[in-house]
Structure 1
Amino acid sequence: MTWTAPEIARTPQLLVGDERAVLHSLLTRGREILLWKCQGLTGELLAIRSVEPSTMSLLGLIRHMTEVERGWFRLRAAGEQLDYVYSSDTNPDGDFHDTDPEQAEADYARFVEEITLADKAIANLPLDHTILHPRSGADLSLRWIYLHMIEEYGRHAGHADLLRERIDGSVGYQ
């Protein structure tokens, strides 16, 4: 039996609330949009790449955002000691380059799990919690990380729109 990405029931966006709740609502929206763009597709379809020389695919985006969630929320904000799943110093773009349609179900599940783990890791951290940026050494707040992640999902939602249209002509926003 061929695995197919499940349908996504999207959470209504929170339009009024405290800052943390609204930020989390917008982050959840970005996460769900990426999953929504994947729904109904098999591993083979998720692995279809855009246009050479790009190695971007919906499956690559799922893997990439697994790394991004893990990196910003768990590694940096929460200070957990763990490695990236798909990328390394010797293979920094493994999230995009090494997609395997046969592993799509596992990659998808890992992404969903990483979201849960990321949310749990930062649940008790205040928005003013600070860390050092890994490259610049500048102070960053958890608030900034939330905003950066919302931006990251927004950028990749556009990529996902184009990739999905290339795969099956599906366009639009629900």
Structure 2
Amino acid sequence: MTDPKEDLRVYLQDARDVLLWKLDGLSEYDVRRPLTPTGTNLLGLVKHLTGAEALYFGATFGRPFAGTPLWITGEAEPDTDLWARADESREDIVGHYRQAWAHADATIAGLPLDALGRVPGAPREITLHRVLTHMIAETQRHAGHADVVRELIDGTVGQRPDGLNVAPYDPGHRDRVERAAKEAAARSS
């Protein structure tokens, strides 16, 4: 028999692990450098999710945890939670993320899925089930961002270091995709 709460926690943990392994083997510059016009970077994604876990699994259920203040809550300047200052170490940011998820896991373990909480500033209560679902989606979304950013840095892709969830690299694949895009565009003109 399965435990729905544990199933959800496992999916959240999987996404957390994916996000962190995207940092493995990279230089200090590579984990911090912005690779999109909006500044998306690997360490900033970790920092952001630290604040999200602290907010949703901490303050929401009356179990405060000192996470990264999120700009979306009005507690910080815009996007301050999405990048790492030069004086913030990778070790501290990753360590704080691990602490936030340990705190979150204690909240998950200690409350039933139908437990009600209130996200600070939100107009209505929300269940732990809804928070878990939200954080799985949020973390997987940012793990996807991290996958693209890591691919731009050094070509590493996939959900796991073993690469078993991605097709073997085919240098001609990108060219086939480009040709198909050009053919489709020509047909629609």
Quickly name the TM-score band, shorter chain normalised: 0.7 to 0.9
Q: CA deviation at 1:132?
A: 2.8
Equivalent position to 2:7, from 11, 15, 22: 22
1:162 — aligned with what?
148
1:65 — aligned with what?
49
**What's the TM-score once normalised by structure 2's chain length?**
0.74
In structure 2, relative to structure 1, the CA distance for the partners of 1:134 and 1:86 (3 Å cut) is closer
Q: CA deviation at 1:100?
A: 2.7
2:112 equivalent to 1:126: yes
Q: Return the alpha-carbon distance in structure 2 between the equivalents of residues 69 and 27 of structure 1.
A: 11
Q: Return the alpha-carbon distance in structure 1 between the equivalents of residues 156 and 88 of structure 2.
A: 23
Q: How does 1:58-137 map to 2 (within 5 A)?
A: 58-77=42-61, 79-81=62-64, 83-87=66-70, 89-100=75-86, 103-137=89-123
Q: CA deviation at 1:128?
A: 0.5
In structure 2, relative to structure 1, the CA distance for the partners of 1:38 and 1:18 (3 Å cut) is same
Structure 1 stretches of at least 4 aligned residues deviating more than 6 Å after TM superposition? none
**What's the TM-score once normalised by structure 1's chain length?**
0.80
One-letter code of the match for 1:147? T
Gaps of 5+ in 2: 161-189
Gaps of 5+ in 1: 1-15
In structure 2, relative to structure 1, the CA distance for the partners of 1:130 and 1:55 (3 Å cut) is same
Contact preservation (8 Å) 2:47, 2:84: no
In structure 2, relative to structure 1, the CA distance for the partners of 1:99 and 1:166 (3 Å cut) is farther
Q: Return the alpha-carbon distance in structure 2 between the equivalents of residues 80 and 92 of structure 1.
A: 25
Q: CA deviation at 1:114?
A: 1.3
Give the match's secondary structure for 2:58.
helix
One-letter code of the match for 1:67? G
Q: Percent identity?
A: 33
Q: CA deviation at 1:17?
A: 1.5
Equivalent position to 1:44, from 29, 36, 41: 29
Q: CA deviation at 1:22?
A: 0.6
Q: Return the alpha-carbon distance in structure 2 between the equivalents of residues 20 and 119 of structure 1.
A: 11
Give aligned pairs, total.
157
In structure 2, relative to structure 1, the CA distance for the partners of 1:101 and 1:33 (3 Å cut) is farther
Give the match's secondary structure for 1:50.
coil
Q: Return the alpha-carbon distance in structure 1 between the equivalents of residues 83 and 8 of structure 2.
A: 31
The superposition leaves residues 125-149 of structure 1 with CA deviations (integer Å, 9 ceiling, x where unpaired) of 1110012344441221000000001
Rg larger in 1 or in 2?
2
Give the match's secondary structure for 1:154.
helix
